[in-house]
């Protein structure tokens, strides 16, 4: 009985290994002949075009003269669930201070939703890692210089 069990164990192991080997071999052949799409890309020389629904870094929107549309109403500061926004200024005017701590932002888009002036928009920028924590706090000019929602280029791959 023990011998019979050992026989079936060895048989199923051999079959399993053989099945895996054949499946991997077919996969390699399919990729070589382009039958199966390669799912990886040569990052960072290649980048994906992500879904338009991707929410990345909030950015300040500018008017045609390059002035921010923000009127320092503080609504975004009040609604932000992670307290990553710091805005100081006189209501109705451009803020004197507008800081965003990217390390705390969860890209929830509440700030965009609540803004009465459409002055803050979610971009698709999400490659934001830094070796220095201080670099994660973006100031008014840095958020302004981002301008508007970046459009994906046609050379980027579609995922």
Q: How far is the CB of 145 from ligand SF4 (least distance, A)?
A: 16
Does residue 73 belong to the site contacting ligand SF4 (CB under 6 A)?
Answer: yes
Between 49 and 114, name the residue whose CB sits nearer to ligand SF4. Answer: 114
Q: Which one-letter DSSP state was computed for residue 128?
A: -
Each residue 41-60 as x (binds ligand SF4 by CB under 6 A) or -, in order, gives -----------------x--
Q: How far is the CB of 118 from ligand SF4 (least distance, A)?
A: 8
Each residue 84-123 as x (binds ligand SF4 by CB under 6 A) or -, in order, gives xx-x------------x----xxxxxxx--xx-x-xx---
DSSP string computed for 32-92:
HTTSS------TTTS-EE--TT----EEE-B-TTS-B------HHHHH-TT--EEEES-TT
120, two tokens: 């803050």
User: CA–CA separation, 156 vs 49, rounded Å?
Assistant: 5
User: CA–CA separation, 15 vs 74, rounded Å?
Assistant: 66
Binding site for ligand SF4 (CB under 6 A): 58, 70-76, 80-82, 84-85, 87, 100, 105-111, 114-115, 117, 119-120
């Amino acid at each position: 009985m023990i011998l019979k069990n050992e026989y079936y164990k060895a048989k199923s192991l051999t079959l399993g290994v053989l099945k895996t080997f054949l499946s991997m071999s077919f996969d390699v052949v399919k990729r070589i002949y382009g039958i199966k799409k390669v799912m990886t890309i040569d990052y960072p020389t290649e980048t994906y075009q992500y879904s338009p629904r991707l929410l990345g870094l909030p950015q300040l929107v500018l008017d045609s003269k390059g002035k921010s549309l923000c009127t320092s109403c503080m609504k975004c500061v009040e609604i932000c669930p992670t307290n990553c926004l710091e805005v100081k200024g006189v209501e109705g005017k451009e803020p004197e201070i507008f800081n965003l701590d990217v390390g705390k932002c969860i890209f929830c888009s509440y700030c965009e939703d609540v803004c009465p002036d459409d002055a803050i928009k979610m971009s698709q920028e999400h490659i934001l890692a830094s070796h220095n924590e201080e670099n994660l706090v973006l100031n008014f000019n840095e958020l302004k210089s981002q301008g508007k929602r970046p459009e994906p280029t046609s050379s980027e791959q579609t995922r």
